[in-house]
Amino acid sequence: MHNRKGAHWRGQRLAAVLFDLDGTLLDTAADIALALNRTMVEYGCQPLTLDEVRRMIGRGSPILIERAAASQGRIIGASTRTEMVERFFHYYGRLEESNEDSAQPYAGAAESLRTLHEAGLGTAVVTNKQHRFAGALLERLGLAAWVDVVVGGDTCERRKPDPQPLFFACDSLQVPPSDSLMVGDSVNDVQAARAAGIPVVCVSYGYNEGRDPRTLECDLLLDSLTELPTLLQVS
């Protein structure tokens, strides 16, 4: 077990930090756009711009596919959506082996994860990305050693903005939600954290489904994850 004595949030002892992945720890939009556009073209749609895709990221792949199709005036049925999601997974999963992947950690992400982990906090990634893709990204980018638990969009019955994945992460870390902090970039993270009774800090540079991050009803907005260890008084 971790020695959880090295951090505080607004005067209260903190035992764990839960991180969103896409738009918070990692910039993955270009890879998502590449796989999405290959799927869209396969189904007779036009490719989308990177900015358009950034505004659609946030609630998992099925919603991403729905939004992409709707942006071109197409309403897709459940079976077609399932097919398109599988094709998206196929293209996304092949990016690394074809050396087309470009995802990278944001400034301060690796350093903050390492600092928090070495200070004895439990660390988790709670994402709507499929678990296999999230875990592979963390491994490839050298972050996995500082993450205790990975909760993907397919780990639980429900995904963010439902609080279930956050509760699952806390339970896996053996930490009460009240001793945890959520770090994210979108309204999904804020809503999930509020429903779980967990304070939430957001970054200003993420995706947030195209909305201004300053509109997020979070407890604090950070411009960089480099600020996080100091904010939490990590010792």
> Which residues are catalytic, by number?
20
> Packing angle between helix 78-94 and helix 131-140, nearest 10 degrees?
20
Q: Select from 187, 201, 146, 203 the least CA-distant residue to 10.
A: 201
Show the beta-strand stretches assigned E in 101-199. Answer: 104-105, 122-126, 149-151, 180-184
Show the beta-strand stretches assigned E in the chain. Answer: 8-9, 12-13, 16-19, 26-27, 104-105, 122-126, 149-151, 180-184, 200-203, 220-222
Distance of CA 88 to the CA centre of its chain: 18
Considering only CA atoms, give the Rg of the chain: 17
